[in-house]
Amino acid sequence: MKEFIEFIAKFLVDDPESVVVEETIDQEKKINLTLRVKQEDVGKVIGKKGKTAIAMRTLLTAVAAKEGKRAMLEILD
């Protein structure tokens, strides 16, 4: 799942090398992904009215559900 989000984010931003995705698993076995990009690329990852971020979270939820897991995406600037 980490690679999936990284793949999508790299195609959205101007500087693909700046994309960093960190993965942690909490006590409830939920996967937390944190996406970091350059300040000027945050808007591209979030999209107008957050639609791109919502789409990324929806896709992540679908991929996680297929594997029988729960996942959450946080976008940091």
Domains of the chain: 2-76 (3.30.300.20)
Say if residue 40's pLDDT is above 80. yes
Say how far apart CA 30 and CA 65 lie, in whole Å.
11
Report whether 7 contacts 19 (CB < 8 A).
no
Dist. CA 75–CA 66, nearest whole Å: 23
The 20-25 sheet, strands edge to edge: 20-25, 30-36, 70-76
Beta strands, E only, 1-77: 20-25, 30-36, 70-76
The 3-state DSSP class for residue 42 equals helix
Q: Does the pLDDT of residue 62 top 90, yes or no? A: yes
**pLDDT > 80? residue 38:** yes
Span 40-55, mean pLDDT? 95
- Average predicted confidence (pLDDT) for the chain: 93
